[in-house]
Amino acid sequence: MAHTTRNKSKLLTRVRRIRGQVDALERALSEEHGCADVLQLVAACRGALNGLMAELIEGHIQFHLLSTDRRASARQVRATEELMEVVRSYLR
């Protein structure tokens, strides 16, 4: 998957940030923080994971469906943009 190796550093930075958020969630549960705080942390983790998922899906579509060895038609580009808009909306 060349799109993940090309953006490896950026993706790993995101994963490490997510790990930090999950660690904060674990600490909040261990220290018996209020449920509102825990829910906020869960929502933050979910948002971060969804953002990562959207980025990976977009890279996959661009790399594997809009092949770099031939020029994509305007119709293909438009369809790809529409699909990514739907994916981003779904993952919010």
Domain ranges of the chain: 7-91
Q: Under a CB-based contact definition with an 8 Å cutoff, are residues 48 and 14 in contact?
A: yes
- The pLDDT value given to residue 67: 67
- The pLDDT value given to residue 25: 98
- The pLDDT value given to residue 52: 94
Whether pLDDT at 69 is above 80: no
Q: What kind of fold does domain 7-91 have according to CATH?
A: Methane Monooxygenase Hydroxylase; Chain G, domain 1 (1.20.58)
> Which parts of 1-92 are beta strand (E)?
none
Largest CA distance in the chain: 56
Whether pLDDT at 73 is above 60: yes
pTM, 2 dp: 0.81
67: exposed, middle or buried (Cβ count in 10 Å: 0-12, 13-18, 19+): exposed
Cα–Cα dist 26/1, whole Å: 32
Q: What's the pLDDT tens digit per position in 28-68?
A: 999 999 999 999 999 999 999 999 999 999 888 888 777 66
